[in-house]
Amino acid sequence: MIIQRVVLNSRPGKNGAPVAGNFRLEQSKIADTIQAGQVRVRTLYLSVDPYMRCRMNEDTGSDYLLPWQLSEVADGGGIGVVEESKHDNLAKGDFVTSFNWPWQTVAILDGSLLQKLVPQLVNGRLSYFLGAAGITGLTALLGIREKGHVSVGANQTMVVSGAAGACGSLAGQIGRLEGCSRVVGIAGTDEKCSILVQEMGFDAAINYKKGNVAEQLRELCPGGVDVYFDNVGGDISDTVISQMNQNSHIILCGQISQYNKDVPYPPPLPPDIEKIQKERNITRERFLVLNYMDKQEASILQLCQWIQEGKLKVRETTVEGLANIGAAFQSMMNGGNIGKQIVSVSN
């Protein structure tokens, strides 16, 4: 069977910015028949995420992420429909997902590595299982519950950087649902800031490209910052940390501003900011959602319930066609999208 797939065409270099040309669309073949335990699936949606930047390097800098190999098919979160099955628990027409879905139109996969999906849990929006009801939502929810130490009635203020992105836009809403009394987002355009406040219930949002972020933070968080959901690192995070309260908490979700730099993860703080962190006893612990998979099922059900009840607003930026996945990745890394970046492969 002839299929289309996307392979890693070149590496941007440890300190380089990824571009669409780092990926290549090509034709390939898969077997016409499947073996016992396998399924043939048609790809519907693929997820494009910031962590994938690490996989473009020969060394990902992580012991749980494998690098993509040159001229080999890339992979990540994906959803498809079963077209043929020789696995006992999967049948033709079932919708399935995997965290290691190949970037190709049709694939033959081990059925035991796939998770069957129930579209009704997300009101039929299958792509949500790659975002708000998937690993992205889990990262936001478990990050807040495990590292944020949010307590109902404690009058806590949360700040979210990268707040218009896939994880940040959910984290602010979940912070509110979990008990924060005030939520402030930081994003890169006025449009994004407006969406955060008017659509997603943030109390306020700061366009970091306009005005003085430190001054705006002091005005919007007069009681200081108790919980910081950090998606970006760098100067913005240094500014937020400098205004955090005694015994406050940083949820170290991502450091997207540092992903094109050859630095360790998490990147070290500047000496003056590290001094503040230590003097104020601010926690800043590496957070990996994969360490909490025992809480996955209950957490996914909670996220789905909030979606069904309209308490969790979901934004997606969708690009049509496998051929455009490289451009979608470049746009996402440049902060050009709102919410989750999804590639729709076939309808």
- What does the pLDDT read at residue 159? 98
- What does the pLDDT read at residue 293? 87
Query: Could you identify the residue written with the tokens 């970091």?
Result: 208
Neighbours of 7 (CB within 10 A): 19
Go through the domains of the chain in sequence order and give each one's CATH number: 2-131+315-344 (3.90.180.10), 135-290 (3.40.50.720)
Q: What are phi and psi of 22, to 5 degrees?
A: -70, -10
The one-letter amino acid at 104: Q
d(CA 294, CA 292): 5
Mean pLDDT by 10 residues, the chain (347 residues): 97 90 97 96 95 89 87 97 97 97 98 96 96 94 96 95 94 97 96 96 97 96 97 93 98 66 68 97 88 92 96 94 95 85 86
- What does the pLDDT read at residue 257? 47
Give yes or no for a cis peptide into 119 (omega within 30° of 0): no
Look up residue 165 and give its DSSP letter: B
- What does the pLDDT read at residue 127? 97
Helices marked H in 309-345: 325-333
User: In Å, how far from its chain's centre is CA 343?
Assistant: 14
User: In Å, how far from its chain's centre is CA 109?
Assistant: 24
- What does the pLDDT read at residue 54? 87
Q: pTM of the full predicted structure?
A: 0.91
Q: What are phi and psi of 160, to 5 degrees?
A: -120, 120
